[in-house]
Amino acid sequence: MLVIHSKLVEAMIAQSHKDHPIETCGVIAGPEGSNIPLRLIPMRNVAQSKTFFEFDPQQQLQVWREMEAQGEEPVVIYHSHTGSQAYPSRTDVENASEPGAHYVIIPTDNLYDREIRSFRILDGMITEERVCTVSAYHKLQAALEQLIEA
């Protein structure tokens, strides 16, 4: 399950609609091992495509270094689908390289779903998970989530 603050969900949706019909993308960092997404970093999509995204490699280096220096990891990796359902595409699965991350997809085409969806992608396997949007993070809640997942 992905537990995520509503303000982060709103920010991802706003960014996705602003960039529509180009796919948007970004990362939400959180303390290593916490599974709590805290710091949202919009990333430049160097592909500038309606059907593909790729983090700007130079920005990615800088952001990944910042995360390491601050003891963070990518808790959420998000991108939008601007003309298809919010389900991982073949290229999403082939390129999923952060085994610990929640992969969030934001649909911006009204023909398809309206809700964001979250997935774990590991060794080519897609597992959808529930998204629990909260207005505050509570330590107890986070601890419970970890217990449930363990």
* Interface ranges with other proteins (CB under 8 A): 23, 25, 27, 43, 47, 51-55, 57-58, 60-61, 64-65, 73, 77, 79, 88-92, 94-100
Q: Which is nearer to other proteins, 3 or 121 (CB)?
A: 121
| Residue 95 Cβ vs other proteins, minimum distance, rounded to whole Å | 5
Closest CA to 106 of 82, 71, 135: 82
What dihedral angle (degrees, nearest 10) is formed by the CA atoms of 86, 98, 92, 122? -90
| Residue 78 Cβ vs other proteins, minimum distance, rounded to whole Å | 10
Q: Which is nearer to other proteins, 51 or 141 (CB)?
A: 51
The rounded distance, in Å, linking the Cα atoms of 94 and 40 is 24
